[in-house]
Amino acid sequence: MRALVTGAAGFMGSHVAEIVRAEGHKVLGVDDLSGGFLENLPHGIAFEQRSITADMDELCEKFRPDVVFHLAAYAAEGLSHHIPVFNYVNNVIGTVNVLSAAYHAGAKHFVFTSSIAAYGHPHSDQPFDERTACIPCDPYGTAKLACEHHIRSMYDYHGGPAYTIFRPHNVFGSRQNISDPYRNVVGIFMACALQNKPMPVFGDGSQTRSFSHIGAVAHAIATSPFIPDARNETFNIGGDEPMSVKKMAEIIAAEFGIKPNLQFLVARKEVRHAHCKHDLAKRMFPEAYRRALDIRSGVKEMADYVRNRPLSAPTECPSPIELYDHLPPSWSERLKHSQCK
């Protein structure tokens, strides 16, 4: 099989590409390196540095992928309120562009990583399941849901490619970019721990998430095209253990052998408690869940990884701020000193 993986030098994409390559398939990775790193690329794959908003037709026609794993995105949910145009171009237009090129080249399967952000605020005390109405509350979630709709409508109208859609949430692990101050709270906390800086917490830190180690998530994504019953289905994927952001900061501090030093900031407008049910994914991808690490084991795995690598330069905001209203003061202060004002 020939597989094209977008975002292959990034966090999730590199893990998916590694698994697919290890199964003996030919892999072409695509990444613009805006948030990923060449060192993340798995051994034995071909690589093309390219934006997903650039022309993809010639590349796909030449490679002729059987399956496309589309993981490239700028996944800063909170920042998407302030860079909505960039968000929609990068996430919606980029996805449409990759999907069209895949269709032209005869790809049979398209795997897309959406997000728990597609659900928006919970409307009950129950975790989201795949039947929960999607009412996203930020541009990032809106973009991901729009991509889902487009992928389904493409299949319904054109008859292909078949698809599998995943809604992961709060994924962390080795190869995650810990130098992006606007996304990946686990990475942000680890970068602070390495530099002996306070860990920034919006509000009182009581907001909860089910943090998810990359192992099970990547394995389910990578194997989905080979499971017939996963064809044209949508899955929540991730961990089951609710945990507050404050508690996560304390676990990371303990792992690095330091006392928790939390800097409480003005609360953001965000979903307070976001959790998913994974019954469908557990039935469909039992091997992935057998490989799952719990939160503390996952934190140790990631901490061991980042301790043995130099801290990269900060990955700044990828676009000039379009809307300043309600921009968190800590971000506003940081942006005064960056090129993306």
**pLDDT 10s digits, 317-333:** 999 999 999 999 999 98
- pTM across the whole model: 0.96
Is 324 part of a structural domain of the chain? no
Is 133 part of a structural domain of the chain? yes
Backbone phi, then psi, for 285, in 5-degree steps? -125, 60
Is 182 part of a structural domain of the chain? no
143-177 confidence digits (pLDDT tens): 999 999 999 999 999 999 999 999 999 999 999 99
Question: What is residue 291's predicted lDDT score, i.e. its pLDDT?
Answer: 87
Is 230 part of a structural domain of the chain? yes
Is 164 part of a structural domain of the chain? yes
Q: Is 262 helix (H, G, I), strand (E, B) or coil?
A: strand
Question: What is residue 339's predicted lDDT score, i.e. its pLDDT?
Answer: 55
- The pLDDT of residue 341 is above 70: no
Find the mean pLDDT for residues 216-227. 98
279-298 confidence digits (pLDDT tens): 999 999 999 999 899 999 99
Range of the domain at 121: 2-173+212-240+274-293
- The pLDDT of residue 245 is above 70: yes
- The pLDDT of residue 340 is above 70: no
CA–CA dist 329, 283 (Å, integer): 44
Neighbours of 85 (CB within 10 A): 12
Find the mean pLDDT for residues 305-312. 93
User: Which CATH number belongs to the domain containing residue 93 in this structure?
Assistant: 3.40.50.720
Residue 171's closest CA among 117, 215, 136? 215
